[in-house]
A = this chain, B = another copy of it.
Amino acid sequence: MARVSRATAGAAKRRRMSRADRERQMLDVAERAFAERGYHAVSMDDIAEQVGVTKPMLYEYFGSKDGLLLACIARCRAELYERTRAAMAGATDPKDVFWRGLLAYFEFIDVHAQAYAVLAHEPMAGGGPSTGGRNDTALPAATAEAVEATRRQQVDLIAPLLNTYAPDAPAPTAEAYAEIIIGACERLGLWRLRHPEVTAEDAARHMMNFSWYGLAQIVATLQGR
């Protein structure tokens, strides 16, 4: 148990690494650990040990445990964003844009599986008290905003798209729709974790059918008659 075994590296004695490399490695280990065992079941010492360094290094790079989690989320979301953006780029037809985006999204979830489960529900986000802004520490607040930024990124990916295809709708409405889509996708992604038989394409299709045609269409078969 005391055997630390320098984790990732082979057999060489603990080597020093550049900050950038160490950072990536820490994120890899942390993401995996959080995903497998849950956020609060993992201690900073655990992560440090797996990385092959000691705790203060984690704090040097990420400021706090929340900071580390947030950094994981930010990276993961950034990648997700890039994937979906790239997937949608190839389409011209609005429906096709939507379809490709959905498919890319659920395929991404497919790979990152559990990581997504933990990362999706970021804890805290602390709704500060209305009077008096209480900031626990410096770093977390900053990173918390960073994650909020990546979220806005998602909204800003979808909202303008809607505005392009439907210029009639006022801006707030487009934003609301973007939130709706994101929320629905996140939930459906979580749902899929409990239903392994549902493929990514199935999920995308459900989302597509619902969002594109609407409930009216679905209910129509009964009502229209």
Contacts and interface: CB of A to CB of B under 8 A. Distances in A.
Contacts of A182: 187
Interface string A114-139: 10011001111111010000101000
Interface residues of A, number: 66
A195 B176 CA distance: 10
Contact of A187 (B114, B136, B179): B179
Given A38-B124, A117-B127, A213 B214 contact: yes
Nearest to A193: B127
A223 B165 contact: yes
Contact of A136 (B41, B121, B213, B217): B41
A86 to B, nearest CB: 21
Contacts of A126: 37-38, 41
Nearest to A166: B218
A176 B203 contact: yes
A218 B169 contact: yes
A57 interface: no
B211 A215 contact: yes
A219 interface: yes
15 contacts: A35-B127, A36-B129, A39-B123, A41-B134, A95-B219, A162-B218, A166-B218, A168-B221, A172-B198, A175-B191, A176-B198, A177-B210, A180-B184, A181-B184, A211-B214
